Amino acid sequence: EAGVTQFPSHSVIEKGQTVTLRCDPISGHDNLYWYRRVMGKEIKFLLHFVKESKQDESGMPNNRFLAERTGGTYSTLKVQPAELEDSGVYFCASSQVVATGELFFGEGSRLTVL
Amino acid sequence: GQNIDQPTEMTATEGAIVQINCTYQTSGFNGLFWYQQHAGEAPTFLSYNVLDGLEEKGRFSSFLSRSKGYSYLLLKELQMKDSASYLCAVSSSGGYQKVTFGTGTKLQVIP
């Protein structure tokens, strides 16, 4: 069974540009999460989808970040325009069971904003 | 809000036992995860404690005390490949699962 896959694995862009990260969860997992880890800090929650609906987007830093999950399958996270402080590793995770499910993580997309 | 504390770094000797502590403060506690993350890789699930007590799984054990807001991960018979970051994460309720991570403990196993 394929795990959670993320693309790209690494992206280097200039301040002001746009980047779109993609996550393909494990097939059949209704729950999809985006997390971000900034250098030296903890993995921080960004948002949670249940199927195509945003269940919780309280962790989204600001309106430069837009996440979508049309059709309830893969998800995209767009950063527009990117700022220096957006650099970090963006992890996607999915789970099947709502209350107690193990989160399965992708390997992350490393974003470097110059 | 939620607050999770764990040591930043630890060093232990191959073959030894190491205990990584985690304390937390949260509302609506569901359970506590431990994840292992090797550099540049995805976090991988180790354990999930919901009730008080010790859960053993091979060389790894995890303990939880909900009244004290405390957990530990115990690694026995350490191997060099156990060098990694160990992430404590708390699952809280709200009608859905929200998992909050600590900063992680970087464990270095030395010969």
Q: What is the pLDDT of residues B62-94, one digit of tens each?
A: 999 999 999 999 999 999 999 999 999 998 875
pLDDT at residue B42 is higher than 60? yes
Summarize the confidence of residues A32-56 as an average pLDDT: 89
A77-106 residues touching B, CB cutoff 8 A: 91, 95, 98-106
> What percent of chain B clears pLDDT 70, i.e. is strictly above it?
94
For A76-103, what is the mean pLDDT? 88
Residue that has been written with the tokens 């996550």 in this structure: A23
Residue-averaged pLDDT of chain A: 91
Which residues of B fall below an 8 Å CB-CB distance to A? 4, 30-31, 33, 35, 40-45, 48, 50, 87, 89, 91, 93-94, 96-104
Amino acid A107: pLDDT: 93
Tell me what percent of the residues of chain A surpass a pLDDT of 90: 72
Q: Is A87 exposed, middle or buried (0-12, 13-18, 19+ CB in 10 A)?
A: middle
Residue A81 binned pLDDT confidence (cut-offs 50, 70, 90):
very high
Size of interface A-B (CB pairs under 8 A): 63
| For chain B, percent of residues with pLDDT exceeding 90 | 73
Average pLDDT over residues A11-37: 95
Q: Please report the pLDDT score of residue B97 as a whole number.
A: 65
The number of CA neighbours under 13 Å toward the Cβ of B32 is 32
Q: Report the pLDDT value the prediction gives residue A6, as an integer from 0 to 100.
A: 97
pLDDT score recorded for residue B47: 92
- Residue B64, judged by CB atoms within 10 A of its CB (0-12, 13-18, 19+), counts as buried
pLDDT at A1 over 80: no
State the pLDDT at residue A98.
Answer: 58
pLDDT at site B39: 87
Q: How far is CA B21 from CA A11, A106, A113, B7, B86, in A?
A: 35, 26, 35, 7, 10
For residue B45 the two structure tokens come to 């699930």
Q: Which of chain A's residues have a Cβ under 8 Å away from the Cβ of B102?
A: 42
